[in-house]
Structure 1
Amino acid sequence: MNRILLLTMTALLTACGPAKPTDTVDELMANPARIKEIQRLCKEDHSKVGDELCLRAAAAAERRFFGDRPEQKKTQ
């Protein structure tokens, strides 16, 4: 009985952890307003938003700016 209660409490506390960001780079690329919103939030309170989401927004902004093209090989 105690083991079941302990496992139940552990499962409930694990579920209460912080949510992972669901915005992928591809989703953000399709929504420039969301990129700007995340970048603003990252500037205001980076610790609240988190590194992962800020990096995804930066990658999406970079891919939108430079385009999603392959690197060109330099010829000598």
Structure 2
Amino acid sequence: MNKIVMPLLAVVLTACGPAKPTETVDELVANPARIKEIQRLCKEDRAKVGDELCLRAAAAAERRFFGERPEQKKTQ
């Protein structure tokens, strides 16, 4: 019985890690209110929100501001 309990306990404890953000940059671009909410939460407690979600919100805000612009050719 002990041989079954220990691996099962290891699997259960491994599953208890922090949840990964499920929101992609594209989803956030479509929802500007959510971007603002995440940015506010990141300012208040970045460790609780997580760096990955804060970075995704920043990338989404940048994409909304600048848009998907093609690179311009430099003239000489």
Shorter-chain TM range is over 0.9
The count of aligned residue pairs is 76
- Counterpart-to-counterpart distance in 1, 2:49 and 2:71: 31
- Residue identity in the other structure for 1:65: F
CA deviations on 1:20-72 (whole Å, 9 max, x unpaired) are 00110000000000000000000011111111000000000000000012222
How far off its partner does 1:7 sit?
1.0
1:42 aligns with 2:42: yes
Aligned to 2:2: 2
Q: Which amino acid in the other structure matches residue 13 of structure 1?
A: L
Scaled by the length of structure 2, what TM-score is found?
A: 0.93
Structure 1, unaligned stretches of length 5 or more? none
Greater Cα shift, 26-35 or 5-14? 5-14
- Which 4+ residue blocks in structure 1 deviate beyond 3 angstroms? none
* Amino-acid identity (%): 82
Q: Name the CA distance, whole Å, in 2 between partners of 1:12 and 1:46.
A: 27
Which residue is 1:63 aligned to? Answer: 63
